[in-house]
Amino acid sequence: MLATTPLDAVTADATMLVMVLAASTALLLVLGIVLLVAWLRARGRARRTAFDRAAAERQRIDLELGLAEQTGRLRIIREAHEVSVIALTGIISQADGARYAASADASAAARAAESIGEAARTTLGDLRRVIGLASEGEASAAPQPRLTSTSELFDAMRESGLEVVFDESGEPFELQPGAELAIYRILQEALANALGYGGAGTEARISFTWGTEGLHVKVDDDGIRASARREGLDPNDASAVGYTIDDDLKALTDEPSGRGIHEMRSRAELYGGILTASTVPGVGFSLSVVFPALRFHNGVHGVRLDRS
């Protein structure tokens, strides 16, 4: 039987220590992986919760705007109804008078009939103008969101993962409620597109440049670079973001289209605005809306309405 030397005992202890350290390291590694997975799941749930909260906030804003528009339309219809009732009451009185006058003076009845026809045509014209105004969604008497309420929109988009930066220069002037609503909707659509195409982490830079009579609204995002950053790529590397010279040519020749662009352009044109949109190769998307005479634009002809 071999005797155990002190060296053998030390070796055995060292081996045992190494095994214990290895087991501890493996345990810590497993624990770290479990904690990492739990953290990632919790972060995912938090992001989904934030996105749902932001979506609910956007829906709330949409409902409030829709309610304001419907309230304005109902008010116009009610006022038109009151005016029509008064006008029809007068027409009925004239008709009754013509009926009694017909037996004694035929010429008086003819004059009364002519007056009735003229009053009826006037009333019909008023109703057509008011109904046309209501169908176009014009509700200037209804409370509409001010441009200052865009801060709520910006906060909602930030909660969804969009980095919103706002800059304003020039001297702001008061706008018609319809013009403010049009600008708000354009911003809402532009930011939604930036988040939808660029994803979380996309930076959207919004600028308002006020002139003496006009306003320039600009929205630039870095959605292409944001996608590269999320994939761990260098956004400044052209090959990483898939940028080629063909993208420059395409940006110069192709005009973005789609329902969202069409709606934004239509809203801008209501107030004499000119909307241009383009992809910025290797960076993201750029939207520009120029309202040359927004201060005096009446939403139909672009004429000056001041009395000076």
DSSP string, 99-158: HHHHTT-HHHHHHHHHHHHHHHHHHHHHHHHHHHHHHTT--TTS----GGGHHHHHHHHH
Report how far apart, in Å, the C-alpha atoms of 300 and of each of 90, 209, 268 are. 33, 23, 12
Report pTM: 0.52
pLDDT of 306: 44
Mean pLDDT, residues 111-139 = 63
Q: What percent of the chain has pLDDT over 90?
A: 15
Joined tokens for residue 51: 């996105």
Most confident of 44-58, 95-109, 166-180, 221-235: 166-180
Which phi and psi (to 5°) does residue 86 adopt? -65, -45
What order of strands is seen across the sheet that includes strand 284-291?
Answer: 163-169, 203-210, 215-221, 284-291, 274-280
Sign of CA dihedral 231, 233, 237, 242: negative
User: pLDDT tens across 253-291, in order?
Assistant: 667 777 788 888 988 888 889 999 988 887 889 999 999
pLDDT of 18: 73
DSSP string, 3-32: PPPHHHHHHHHHHHHHHHHHHHHHHHHHHH
Q: Which of 62, 59, 71, 64 is nearest to 137 (CA)?
A: 71
Average pLDDT, the chain: 75
Sign of CA dihedral 161, 162, 165, 168: negative
pLDDT of 142: 44
pLDDT at 141 over 50: no
Q: Across-strand partners of 291?
A: 215
Q: Which residue has the higher pLDDT, 222 or 6?
A: 222
Q: Which residues contact residue 200 at a Cβ distance below 8 angstroms, ignoring those fewer than 6 apart? A: 47, 160, 161, 162, 226, 230
